[in-house]
Amino acid sequence: MNMGSNNKTVRIAGLFFLGIALGISLYLAWNSLGGSSVAGCAGEGSGCHNVLSSKWGYVLGLPVSLTGLPVYGALLFFSLFSSRHSRLLRGTFSILIGGAALWFAAVQLLILKSFCPWCCATHGFAVAGTVLLAFSSRRESTPRRPLLLTSFALPALGGLIFLQILGSAPDQSKQASLGDAGALKDENNFISLHGGEFLLNPEDFPVIGSPRARHTVVALGDYTCGFCRKLHGQLQQIVSSYPEGELAVIELPVARDAKAAEIQRLMLSLWKSHPETKKTLDTRIHERRLSIEPDTIRTAAEELVGAEAVRTALADHAVWAEQQIEVASQVLKA
């Protein structure tokens, strides 16, 4: 009776740990797909950034954390049953989880020489849950042909490793391009897009470089878009590699939803009234040191210039900011 009670406790603990691993994987996948920063990571140069943004953070162009979701979920599901096939599948998924944990630990230790606390926690909870579940079911009969476990698990694990070795982190910045917009500059320094359908004054938009640079590129920018933020950093590097006044980039303020629009209104209003504050916030956002949330960004702005200054900036420039967002929206649709 006591032994059965202990087994039940161990089993529940194993399921709980595996559930935590599943939840963390879902959190990492959600943030990676949405381009959001991971809580507790200090941005570029941190262990999280080095691991999650590397080629080893992806499989076939998708966040590697997505691969853990079906495996953890399947082990949780089949742990609820005690049939022979369920035991076989539990063993297979257990080998997969253990092997994947060893592989990613080796990648972080030997290749990246950086550790992502979230990734380590995921694998730690997953392995702990797997061990506890195996311990709680040790009295169950083992599958008649245990080699079947490795015949299923090892090829899958080998496939994952093979795809990662050959793969690369996706160049997501391409999703933020304007395509064949036909940008031309006239004698008044205005930028013509789509055969003159849109006429942009570089002085009316945030620009990387000088608004009066000899050559101007037009790009799209949405703070809630991880691809756009990655492109922003790449464009900064490109502009800085040219002599001053040679190249500039206009970033059109795109807003794909209400949250993005609120952030754009705030940042554009600050750009008009407190450009240095906007520049400071941009740096924090693109280095993932500031959460992509309107309230968080506004609080950071208030800490820099004061709450009254932020309110005044919005009161004076929010309507103008909406107009710029609308222009960017029309360019995007063209």
**pLDDT of 36:** 63
Give the C-alpha distances (Å, rounded to integers) separating 39 from 33, 126, 177, 288, 291: 15, 20, 29, 10, 8
Q: Which CATH code of 3.40.50.1100, 3.40.30.10, 2.60.40.10, 3.50.50.60 fits the domain covering 174-333?
A: 3.40.30.10
**pLDDT of 181:** 47
Question: Is the separation of the CB atoms in 248 and 207 below 8 Å?
Answer: yes
Q: Where in the chain is the domain with CATH 1.20.1440.130?
A: 2-170
pLDDT digits (tens, 9 = 90+) for 176-215: 444 444 455 556 677 777 777 788 888 888 888 888 888 8
Cα(149)–Cα(92) distance, integer angstroms = 5
The contacts of residue 258 (CB under 8 Å, 6+ apart) are none
Low pLDDT (below 50) residues in the chain: 1, 172-182
Question: Is the separation of the CB atoms in 251 and 220 below 8 Å?
Answer: yes
**pLDDT of 297:** 93
Q: Are strands 247-253 and 215-221 parallel, antiparallel or unpaired?
A: parallel
Q: What is the DSSP track for 28-81?
A: HHHHHHHTPPPTT--STTSHHHHHHTSGGGEETTEETHHHHHHHHHHHHHHTT-
**pLDDT of 174:** 41
Q: Where in the chain is the domain with CATH 3.40.30.10?
A: 174-333
Q: At what angle do helices 65-78 and 117-136 cross, to 10 degrees?
A: 20
Name residue, tokens 């008009």: 272
**Total residues belonging to the chain:** 334
**pLDDT of 172:** 47
pLDDT digits (tens, 9 = 90+) for 247-291: 888 888 888 888 889 999 999 999 999 999 998 998 888 777 788
The CATH-assigned architecture of domain 2-170 is Up-down Bundle (1.20)
C-alpha 271, offset from chain centre: 26
